[in-house]
Chain A
Amino acid sequence: MTRKQPIISIHNVTKIFNRSVTAVDDVSLEIAEGEFFALLGPSGCGKTTLLRMIAGFENPTIGRIVVDGQDMDGVDPNHRPVNMVFQSYAVFPHMTVAKNVAYGLKVTGVLEKDIKKMVPEALELVKLGGFEHRMPHQLSGGQQQRVALARALVKKPKVLLLDEPLSALDAKLREAMQIELVNLQKSVGITFVIVTHSQAEALSTANRIAVMKDGQVVQVAGPLELYENPNSQFCADFIGKINQLRAKVIGVENGSLAMDIKGIGKALIPHDGPAQGKVTLAIRPEKLQLDSDEPADDCIKFRSRVANVVYYGSTSQVFLENIAGEQMMAEVRNRESGTTTSILIGSVVWVSWKTADTLVLTK
Chain B
Amino acid sequence: MENWRDNKLVAAILLVPASAWILIFFTLPLAIVWVYSFGERGPQGQTLLAFTLDNYVRALELIHLGILWKSVWTAAVATLICFAMGFPVALGIAFAPARFKNLLLLLVILPFWTNLLIRTYAWIAVLRTRGFLNFGLEWGHGKLDTMFSFAGLPDIMGTFEPLALLYNHSAVVIGLVYVALPFLVLPIYATLEKLDRSLMEASLDLGAGQWRTMASITIPLAFPGILSGLMLVFILSLGTYLTPVLLGGTNSMMIGNLIAQEFGPARDWPFGSALSFLLLYITFIILWIRAMVASRSKGVSY
A residues contacting B by CB (< 8 A) are: 18, 55-57, 76-79, 82-84, 86-88, 90, 92-94, 103-104, 107-108, 135, 137, 148, 151-152, 155
Are A78 and B300 closer than 8 Å at their CB atoms? no
Q: A107-B212, A137-B301 are in contact. Are A77 and B205 (CB under 8 A)?
A: yes
Q: Find out whether the CB atom of A78 lies under 8 angstroms from the CB atom of B202.
A: no
List chain A residues, Cβ under 8 A from B205: 55-56, 77-78, 82-84, 152
Judging by beta carbons under 8 Å apart, are B198 and A83 in contact? no
Size class of the B contact interface (CB-based, 8 Å): 20 to 34
**Which single member of A78, A88, A148 contacts B204 (CB below 8 Å)?**
A78
A18 vs B217: C-alpha distance when bound (angstroms):
29
Query: B220 on the interface (CB 8 Å rule)?
Result: yes
| Inter-chain pairs besides A107-B203, A155-B207, 6 sampled, C-beta below 8 Å | A78-B207, A87-B198, A90-B198, A90-B199, A135-B300, A152-B206
CB distance B208 to A78 under 8 Å? yes
Min CB gap A74→B, angstroms: 15
**Cα–Cα distance between A269 and B203 once the two chains are bound (Å):** 56
In the complex, which residues 216-267 of chain B have their Cβ closer than 8 Å to any Cβ of chain A? 216-217, 220-221
Contact of B301 among A86, A92, A93 (CB under 8 A): A93
Which of chain B's residues have a CB closer than 8 A to the CB of A148? Answer: 202
**A288 CB, nearest partner CB in chain B, Å:** 45
For residue B61, CB closer than 8 A to chain A, the reply is no
CA distance A55 to B208 in the complex (A): 14
* Chain B window 190-214, contacts with chain A (Cβ cutoff 8 Å), 1 for yes, 0 for no: 0000001011011111111100100
Question: Is chain B's binding surface mostly helix, strand, loop or mixed?
Answer: helix
Q: Which listed residue (A57, A83, A88, A135) contacts B206, Cβ 8 A?
A: A83
A135–B204 CA distance with the chains assembled, in angstroms: 21
B300 x A103 contact (CB < 8 A): no
Q: Mark B272-302, 1 if CB is under 8 A from A, else 0.
A: 0000000000000000000000000001111
Asked if B206 and A86 make an inter-chain contact with CB atoms under 8 angstroms apart, the answer reads no
List the B side residues contacting A55 at CB < 8 Å.
201, 205
Task: Assess whether A104 is in contact with B221, with CB atoms less than 8 Å apart.
Answer: no
A77 touching B196 in the complex, CB below 8 Å, given contacts A92-B217, A151-B206:
no
Knowing A55-B205, A77-B205, A103-B206, the reply to whether A86 touches B198 (Cβ < 8 A) is yes
Residues in A with CB closer than 8 Å to B99 are 18
A55 to B207, CA, bound (A): 12
Provide the bound-state CA to CA distance between A151 and B206, in Å: 8
Q: Which of B201, B207, B216 contacts A108 (CB 8 A)?
A: B207
Give A93 to B301 CA distance when docked, in angstroms: 8
Q: Are A93 and B221 in contact (CB under 8 A)?
A: yes
A230–B144 CA distance with the chains assembled, in angstroms: 76
